[in-house]
Amino acid sequence: MKKLFIIILCVISFSAQGQSSMQALKDRDIPTTTRLGIMYQRMTPTNEVSTLVQPIAKHPAMELNNPKALDSVRNLVVMRCESIGKDSLMTHELLYVLKPYLDWMQWIDPHLRVDSNYAFEDVRDTKSLKSFISQIKRLGVRFMLINDTLVVNRSIDPHIEVGDMIVRINDADASQLLHYSYHDRYQVPMTLLKNYNARHLTNKYTITLLRNGEQHTVDATTYNGNQTFKQMVINDQFKTKLYEQEKVGYLEIEQFYPNNSYLIKHIKTTINEFKKNNHY
């Protein structure tokens, strides 16, 4: 599996400032109170946006640049910037404005991806960051993108079924969410919401969906991150079967992930259970 290089949006903002001091950058950080603490978004003046739309230096693929294509991308960025009509952009607005440029970069090299990131006052190290992330409530679904339609392709939520078409999540139309994220075949709700609005953290998600041609509004069940991943792995990728007569246990894994630590632990536990029941 190819390794994705995640470029944090705040780093892009930082590079645009050139010789600006760290204090000047901190002055642009806007605090917002959320249920998990004070979170910051960085404010970027619109007159600095054009400086962000530059080829990535020393990248081999950039030798294939078409200057006219890059000019067209710049024009799209300017149009999006003008459509917002502000002197300064917040983090999620900057992501929206730069989306044509980010798509162009990914077309040149699929490894290049930009994502918004959490910036919390009390998150200082890896340990506290992991603790913070574990507290975030997530939707127990995954989406498949078909043209411009989000369709549920995995679900552990009893209120949401595979095949449901997503119309709206809380206050955001599904079509609007896609303006802030890459048009990947498979979509994660948390990434869509985080890119659309960095202050999306909530304990409650109300989802409007279409099922068998009828529209429904449901209050989605929320899960912590590990719980969501574990249950989806167990339900969709991990299958076991006992053959009593042959005293054999059968284990099937349909797919591995970049981080398989939980899967490996579950395999070990399952094999030990086989052995306890004299299945080999």
User: What residues contact residue 264 under an 8 Å CB cut-off, 6+ apart?
Assistant: none
Report pLDDT digits (tens) over 125-139.
555 666 666 777 888
Residue 76 has pLDDT above 80, yes or no: yes
Q: Looking only at Cα atoms, what is the longest distance across the chain?
A: 74
pLDDT greater than 80 at residue 176: yes
State which of 107-116, 168-177, 268-277 shows the largest mean pLDDT. Answer: 168-177
If you average pLDDT over each of 36-40, 56-60, 120-124, which comes out highest? 36-40
173 vs 240: which has the higher pLDDT? 173
Average pLDDT for residues 240-267, to the nearest whole number? 73
Top pLDDT among 227 and 16 is at 227
Given a cut of 90, whether residue 67 has pLDDT beyond it is no
**What are the pLDDT digits (tens) for 141-153?**
989 999 889 999 8
CA–centroid distance for 171 within its chain: 18
Q: Given this model, what pLDDT does residue 118 score?
A: 62
Confidence of residue 167 (pLDDT cuts 50, 70, 90): very high
pLDDT of 258 > 60? The answer is no
Query: Which residue did the predictor score with more confidence, 172 or 40?
Result: 172
Q: Is 91 exposed, middle or buried (0-12, 13-18, 19+ CB in 10 A)?
A: buried
Say if residue 180's pLDDT is above 80.
yes
136-223 architecture in CATH? Roll (2.30)
Least confident of 127-131, 205-209, 266-270: 127-131
What is the CA angle 156-162-163, rounded to 5? 160
Write down the pLDDT at residue 257.
61
pLDDT digits (tens, 9 = 90+) for 183-197: 888 888 888 888 887
Give ranges for CATH 2.30.42.10 in the chain.
136-223
* 209 band by pLDDT with thresholds 50, 70 and 90: very high
Lowest-pLDDT range of 13-17, 69-73, 173-177, 255-259 = 13-17
- Regarding predicted confidence, which is higher, 10 or 231? 231
Which of the 8 DSSP states describes residue 144? E
pLDDT band at 166 (very low <50, low <70, confident <90, very high): very high
| 19 pLDDT higher than 50 | no
Whole-structure pTM value: 0.66
As a whole number of angstroms, the distance between CA 165 and CA 145 comes to: 10
Length of the chain: 280
Alpha carbons within 13 angstroms on the beta-carbon side of residue 22 total: 0
In this prediction, residue 9 carries a pLDDT of 46
Torsion angle defined by CA atoms of residues 243, 246, 248 and 249, in that order, rounded to the nearest 10 degrees: 0
Measured from the Cβ of residue 68, the count of other Cβ atoms closer than 10 Å reads 8
The tens digit of pLDDT for each residue in 1-12 reads 444 444 444 444
pLDDT, residue 2, reads 42
